[in-house]
Amino acid sequence: MSSRYYRIVICPNCHRVQATTASRRFKCRFCGRSCDISKVRVLQVVEDGMEVPRLIVYWRRKLLKEGFKVV
């Protein structure tokens, strides 16, 4: 049985923090742009899907506090 990995990423177009299970390309759920995983900032990779909502909030707050433009 293979494990599913969740990647917390930032869309380079709309700057929103989101999670994806894609390993090569993902489509932003907010702006609809398709992006290569290799060309976006992957903030964290986790196996537990229950952690994803908490991590999205964590990264959004952390990046805003550091002055990054995220939504």
Q: At residue 2, what are phi and psi to the nearest 5 degrees?
A: -90, 150
Write out pLDDT tens, residues 25-70. 999 999 999 999 999 999 999 999 999 999 999 999 999 999 888 7
pTM beyond 0.75: the answer is: yes
Helix (H) or strand (E) holding 34: strand 34-36
Report the first-to-last Cα separation within the chain, whole angstroms.
36
Tokens of 14: 């709309």
